[in-house]
Amino acid sequence: MSRTPQPATEWQPAATFGHRLVIVGFGSIGQGVLPLILRHIAGLTPARITIVTADAAGHALAAACGVRMLVQPLTPDNHRAVLDPLLGPGDFLLNVSVEVSSLALLEYAASRGALYLDSCIEPWPGGFTDPALSPAQRSNYALRESVLALRRRLPRGPTAVVTHGANPGLVSHLVKQALLNIAADLAPDEPEPQTRDAWAALAARVGVKTIHVAERDTQVSLTPKAVGEFVNTWSIEGFISEVCQPAELGWGTHERALPADGRTHETGSGCAIYLLRPGAATRVRSWTPRQGPYHGFLITHSESVSLADYFTVRDGDRVRYRPTVHYAYHPCDAAVLSLHEFAGRNYRLQPDRRVLMDEIVDGVDELGVLLAGHAKNAYWYGSLLSTADTRALVPHNNATSLQVTAAVLSGMVWAIENPQRGIVEPEDMDFRRTLEICRPYLGRLVGAYTEWTPIDDRGELFPEDIDRDDPWQFKNVRV
């Protein structure tokens, strides 16, 4: 295991911004990012910040920071009227809410000449769970296609960064750095890519077959999960939305057979597939340096689609190369128990909910990317952030939220420094600049090769249909 040298912790302003900021949503991410914004964005005084939120959670923090809070749920009918007095040309709309349409706020920010950032693409209420919608319509692939259609309609204008939290977001920058690290070992004369096509060509030459966003959260509280309670280290509503969507993954060119419950999309680039199962009921094998092998949930995430699309090599209309990309998430143990109970309740959310924060006594969030199938087998690169390190760095965060809020901060800084780039995804951004801002908040930034494959020790106790010619087939990864 190698450790990347860490920069000195100096809380210097990362950008200067003399306009107003509106934060939509003030749950764990909104509360966690506020102290970072006040620490690192010079000129953005509390008097220039307004929080618009559906409830009064976090009111004490907002008051202590001197920031105005407006408790007003946003809806399709009222969002423009609520935001009009608060947002104008040059201002910034930061969307860290749930059940508020990202597409609606993207269009609104563009119409007001304001900068924009969100951490995921959200629909209005019911967009993930409406039984009248097909699985394809409830997918992140479909949500991303709607944003890409808006980008084609609005090719220029104020910068709007979509899906820039930890994942999606930070992990796309980690993939680029990981790819350079592998290339330095396998092909040291390769120049650093400067275009999308060059990045995709490098991934193909290096031989990356699959990319796992591999995360293992071991944070723990002394208070055990109670019956009828959902416990998590970040937004429970956000997590539930994800696990109820169909499992999704970018679909690589090395794959030999579509899963029996796999379906392709009829529109767009066709870079991803979905399964006729929710993420809550779909598990995959993956690996992290601290945990080693583990089973995670294949939770749909935008990066599974955008990374697969970004690293596609085409010869005309023919796709010559594309990696399989998916999220392999093992949340904290209390969340696993909560998810098991939630599924047993036929996917009805428990009446009691608890986000672990100050009561966490120990643990690490191990979040990184596993690039596999190349000549050195597999390489993980990412953040090992402990509870103790988190508390030494910034208040109102746990390890999970800090990996998100640091990425939100870095995305805001990049947008402020590049204010006329239109709608951009994380892959379109300067990965070095965003990692530079995030790095002081990521704990240990680690790179590690491993000989592990998803077929290790398989078929001895329970004979299985395993493809031993290519360990990195998705059929081998899926549990």
Higher pLDDT, 8 or 271: 271
Numbered ranges of CATH 3.30.360.30 in the chain: 170-399+439-477
Burial of 85 (0-12, 13-18, 19+ CB in 10 A): exposed
Residue given tokens 């911004």 in the structure block? 17
Distances (CA, A) of 250 to 213, 258, 319, 375: 12, 12, 13, 22
Query: Is the model's pLDDT at 185 over the cut of 80?
Result: yes
Q: Does the domain spanning 2-161 belong to CATH 3.40.50.720?
A: yes
The whole model's pTM is what?
A: 0.96
Q: What is the mean pLDDT of residues 16-45?
A: 97
**DSSP-assigned beta bridge partners for residue 263:** 274
Instruction: Read off the pLDDT band of 263 (50, 70, 90).
Output: very high
User: What radius of gyration, in Å, describes the C-alpha atoms of the chain?
Assistant: 21
Q: What is the mean pLDDT of residues 166-190?
A: 96
Instruction: Read off the pLDDT band of 129 (50, 70, 90).
Output: confident
Q: What is the mean pLDDT of residues 398-418?
A: 98
Q: Which of 433, 429, 361 is nearest to 161 (CA)?
A: 429
Region for residue 422 given its phi and psi (left: phi exceeds 0; alpha: psi -120 to 50; beta: otherwise): left
CB atoms within 10 A of CB 88: 12
Residue given tokens 């220039």 in the structure block? 48
In the chain, the amino acid numbered 379 is: Y
Cis before 168 (ω within 30): yes
Q: Are strands 229-232 and 352-355 parallel, antiparallel or unpaired?
A: parallel
pLDDT of residue 465: 87
Instruction: Read off the pLDDT band of 5 (50, 70, 90).
Output: very low
Query: Is the model's pLDDT at 134 over the cut of 90?
Result: yes
Q: Are strands 115-118 and 41-42 parallel, antiparallel or unpaired?
A: unpaired
Report whether 100 contacts 124 (CB < 8 A): yes
Per-residue three-class SS string for the chain: CEECCCCCCCCCCCEECCCCEEEECCCHHHHHHHHHHHHHEECCCHHHEEEEECCCCCHHHHHHHCCEEEECCCCCCCHHHHHHHHCCCCCEEEECCCCCCHHHHHHHHHHHCCEEEECCCCCCCCCCCCCCCCCCCCCHHHHHHHHHHHHHHCCCCCCEECCCECCCEHHHHHHHHHHHHHHHHHCCCCCCCCCHHHHHHHHHHHCCCEEEEEEEECCEECCCCCCCEEEECCCHHHHHHHHHCEEEEECCCCCCCCCCCEEECCCCCCCEEEEEEEHHHCEEEEEECCCEEEEEECCCCHHHHHHHHHCCEEECCEEEECCEEEEEEECCHHHHHHHHHHHHCCCCCCCEEEECCCCEEECEEEEEEEEEEECCEEEEEEEEEEHHHHHHHCCCCCHHHHHHHHHHHHHHHHHHHCCCCCEECHHHCCHHHHHHHHHHHCCEEEEEEECCCCCCCCCCCCCCCCCCCCCCCHHHHEC
Numbered ranges of CATH 3.40.50.720 in the chain: 2-161
Q: To the nearest whole percent, how much of the chain has pLDDT over 70?
A: 98
Instruction: Read off the pLDDT band of 202 (50, 70, 90).
Output: very high
Share the mean pLDDT of the chain.
Answer: 95
Q: What is the mean pLDDT of residues 443-460?
A: 94
Query: Is the model's pLDDT at 375 over the cut of 80?
Result: yes
Contacts of 309 (CB under 8 A, 6+ apart): 250, 269, 271, 272
Q: Which of 457, 143, 197 is nearest to 320 (CA)?
A: 197
pLDDT of residue 131: 83
Query: Is the model's pLDDT at 350 over the cut of 50?
Result: yes
Region for residue 434 given its phi and psi (left: phi exceeds 0; alpha: psi -120 to 50; beta: otherwise): alpha
**DSSP-assigned beta bridge partners for residue 325:** 211, 250
Query: Is the model's pLDDT at 390 over the cut of 50?
Result: yes
Minimum mean pLDDT range among 74-78, 246-250, 370-374, 458-462: 458-462
Query: Is the model's pLDDT at 368 over the cut of 70?
Result: yes
Q: To the nearest whole percent, how much of the chain has pLDDT over 90?
A: 92
pLDDT of residue 219: 98
**DSSP-assigned beta bridge partners for residue 276:** none
Higher pLDDT, 463 or 296: 296
Instruction: Read off the pLDDT band of 8 (50, 70, 90).
Output: very low
Tell me the fold of 170-399+439-477: Dihydrodipicolinate Reductase; domain 2 (3.30.360)
pLDDT of residue 451: 98
Report how far apart the first and last C-alpha atoms of the chain are (Å, whole number): 27
Biggest distance spanned by C-alpha atoms of the chain = 66
At 226-236, the pLDDT tens digits run 999 999 999 99
Q: What is the mean pLDDT of residues 57-76?
A: 97
In the chain, the amino acid numbered 99 is: E
pLDDT of residue 10: 59
Higher pLDDT, 305 or 462: 305
Query: Is the model's pLDDT at 7 over the cut of 70?
Result: no
At 277-288, the pLDDT tens digits run 999 999 999 999
Q: What is the mean pLDDT of residues 220-247?
A: 96
Residue given tokens 């402020």 in the structure block? 416
Query: Is the model's pLDDT at 462 over the cut of 90?
Result: no
